[in-house]
Structure 1
Amino acid sequence: MTITLTQPEEPGESRRSDNSTDGVTTEIIWVTPEIAAHFLSKDSLNRRLNTERVTALADAIRRKEWKLTHQGIALDETGGLLDGQHRLHAIVEAGIPVQMFVFHGLPREVFPFLDTGKQRTGADTLLSTGAKHRPLLSSTIRHVTLFNTMPNEPWRGSRAHVSNGRILSAYNVDRDRYTEAVAVSRELSAHLFASSTAVAASYFVTTEAAPAANLDDWISGLKSGASLEEGDARLALREVPRDTQKRGSRRRMTMQDQMAIYIKAWNAWVDPQKAGELNLRRLRKGEKMPIPVELKFGKAN
């Protein structure tokens, strides 16, 4: 079967470079699933396929997060595939064409030197913003995204992947609140059982739902515990032991467990009448993630 590498009926133009260095030429084309499958049929040297990586890339394509970059497809002198197998498999899985650089005529001996660098992290992506505490910030954005998109599904594996582009976009849209959440978590995490990420992500989603809540009282109560009466949700949250794993249990407390406990305490503090009996424990099997109580301006606390 012969496939002509012409641009499919998609926006943009297919461009080919007239310059050649030692027989290497480049072009930008729209790679359709059919073209991707054709390239993959020439795969003879690539590494073992990481299916989670493929699924994560395919999900990014479906969400229209794909961007044209220098990372594309590399073919050797005979048309064999040297680099790009995960990107090509993702196009096939997504069933959506994307624009991509294609390098033709690379010597086969360059294969060992391809994709040997460290993968860029979300924290690396935020470097250009000048933000502080980027690892914590990146992790916070990721878990806020997971809370908002798949609160009751496991936050692991390829389905829980949040692309660097998505992290950067979320930060640019709401950078002040993410910056505040990270700053508060760095103050509070020393006084609570939860990790800095769990505190920051929980703070973000709860204050987003209840911007009219008295945040100074919430924060000061958690930090000092002074004058808090028995039954106060802040005191209960402070008293959740750091080692909450039951003796003899192998199940570690997940990020979802930590956020659920924080949100339950928050809800009981914001709206005690709806709180009922406050039981700050990890999520039971089948239990859904609690939803933060809303408290908008104009409503009484």
Structure 2
Amino acid sequence: MSTTTNSVTTDARISATRTPLATIKQQVKVEWVEIAPAMATALLDANSHNRRLREAVADGYARDMTADRWDVNGETIKICADGRLIDGQHRLEAIEITGIAAVCLLVTGLPIEAQKTTDIGARRSYADTLRWEDVKNGDAVSAIVRRITLWNAGYRAKNGRYKPTEPEMSATFAAVPGIIEAADFGVTHATGAGIPPAQLGFAYWLLARIDAAPANWFMQRIADGAGLQLGHPALVFRDRLRREREALRGRGSLSADLILALLIKAWNCYRAGDTITKLQLPTGGLTAETFPIPK
């Protein structure tokens, strides 16, 4: 009895907050619209009930628009029946930032409750795209492409507000050679090196573009430690990583920036023919200015 009562009460509450389907069909309109900056500003002014604007996302969209990489894909700008914007603020912000008009699918007249179920699904990632394209080691390739995009944009350590967009990463993947091979190396040798596949693969790519044969030998030794004499930079690096992991005692993972910076320092010593006893990082931590650059 109580179960039936609760069910009826719940159904009544849900239906009371929903706009009837017949009304929705009458009031909702869908049309292709070229949204100019002035229109984007007007729509954003009605953005009173939306999630907080993520500036890095809007900046990424703006870069894609400026680089003519912005695709019309059918995603909508949604406006509810009382004129409020409920979806599309980052695209509109990008139009306003760039001053470039964009063709969008505009949906107006939506019931306000539509916002509750907007953008709650699982987001497709660039790794998903690579898997659809049957790219081997898609997860590692995706992470390496992202790091290459950041590196080539001048971001060595923390990337701040810069978040590569999928069009930017697609452009990197198409233009930069050696990514598939780097991912394969990372996946194959991650266990021996004690470094996650994408991090190891990015390091391989970074060094191989400087001098492929020495980089391949050096990275093989990073992975297996075979035949290294005392004081060899690759051996010193492996020992430093082991001590760093022991210091954590299972309380998390090593910073990707720390691993890469130490590896680059070791590579630079190897290239110089130096025998070393330790690897030191810059006083005050790693920053864009102090992050080591491979030679």
TM range (shorter): 0.7 to 0.9
How many angstroms does 1:102 deviate by?
1.5
- Residue number in structure 2 paired with 1:158: 161
| Deviation digits for residues 131-174 of structure 1 (CA, Å, limit 9, x no counterpart) | 1332222111111222222244522x432x11122222322334
Residues 51 and 174 (structure 1), Cα distance of their counterparts in 2 relative to 1, 3 Å cut? closer
RMSD between aligned residues: 3.1
- Indicate if the aligned counterparts of 1:140 and 1:200 stay in contact, CA closer than 8 A: yes
Distance 1:276 1:251 in 2: 31
Q: 2:293 is matched by which residue type in structure 1?
A: I
Match for 2:291 among 281, 289, 292?
289
**Identity rate of aligned residues, in percent?**
25
Residues 58 and 113 (structure 1), Cα distance of their counterparts in 2 relative to 1, 3 Å cut? same
- Indicate if the aligned counterparts of 1:136 and 1:197 stay in contact, CA closer than 8 A: yes
Report whether the alignment pairs 1:110 with 2:114: yes
TM-score, length of structure 2 as denominator length? 0.76
- Residue number in structure 1 paired with 2:234: 234
- Indicate if the aligned counterparts of 2:35 and 2:101 stay in contact, CA closer than 8 A: yes
Distance 2:281 2:244 in 1: 9
| Deviation digits for residues 179-222 of structure 1 (CA, Å, limit 9, x no counterpart) | 2111211233223353322211111111012134362x334433
- Residue number in structure 2 paired with 1:49: 53
SS in 2 for 1:27: strand
Q: 1:100 is matched by which residue type in structure 2?
A: C
SS in 2 for 1:120: coil
- Indicate if the aligned counterparts of 2:203 and 2:260 stay in contact, CA closer than 8 A: yes
Residue pairs, 1:188-199, within 5 angstroms: 188-199=189-200
Distance 2:101 2:243 in 1: 49
Match for 1:143 among 140, 147, 164?
147
How many angstroms does 1:125 deviate by?
2.3
How many angstroms does 1:128 deviate by?
2.4
SS in 2 for 1:240: helix
Distance 2:245 2:223 in 1: 23
How many angstroms does 1:79 deviate by?
3.7
- Residue number in structure 1 paired with 2:37: 33
- Residue number in structure 2 paired with 1:280: 279
- Indicate if the aligned counterparts of 1:69 and 1:101 stay in contact, CA closer than 8 A: no
How many angstroms does 1:251 deviate by?
12
Instruction: Give unmatched runs, 5+ long, in structure 1.
Output: 1-20, 294-301
**Equivalent residues, number:** 266
- Indicate if the aligned counterparts of 1:77 and 1:108 stay in contact, CA closer than 8 A: yes
Distance 1:78 1:195 in 2: 50
- Indicate if the aligned counterparts of 2:64 and 2:167 stay in contact, CA closer than 8 A: no
Q: 1:171 is matched by which residue type in structure 2?
A: F
Residue pairs, 1:155-234, within 5 angstroms: 155=159, 157-159=160-162, 161-174=163-176, 177-213=178-214, 215=216, 217-234=217-234
How many angstroms does 1:247 deviate by?
6.2
Q: 2:34 is matched by which residue type in structure 1?
A: W
TM-score, length of structure 1 as denominator length? 0.75
Instruction: Give unmatched runs, 5+ long, in structure 2.
Output: 1-24
SS in 2 for 1:227: coil
Distance 2:86 2:212 in 1: 52
Report whether the alignment pairs 1:86 with 2:64: no
SS in 2 for 1:228: coil
How many angstroms does 1:283 deviate by?
4.3
How many angstroms does 1:34 deviate by?
1.4
- Please identify which structure carries the higher helix content: 2
Q: 2:261 is matched by which residue type in structure 1?
A: A
- Indicate if the aligned counterparts of 1:152 and 1:288 stay in contact, CA closer than 8 A: no
Residues 206 and 132 (structure 1), Cα distance of their counterparts in 2 relative to 1, 3 Å cut? same
How many angstroms does 1:38 deviate by?
0.6
- Indicate if the aligned counterparts of 1:125 and 1:164 stay in contact, CA closer than 8 A: no
How many angstroms does 1:124 deviate by?
1.5
- Indicate if the aligned counterparts of 2:34 and 2:102 stay in contact, CA closer than 8 A: yes
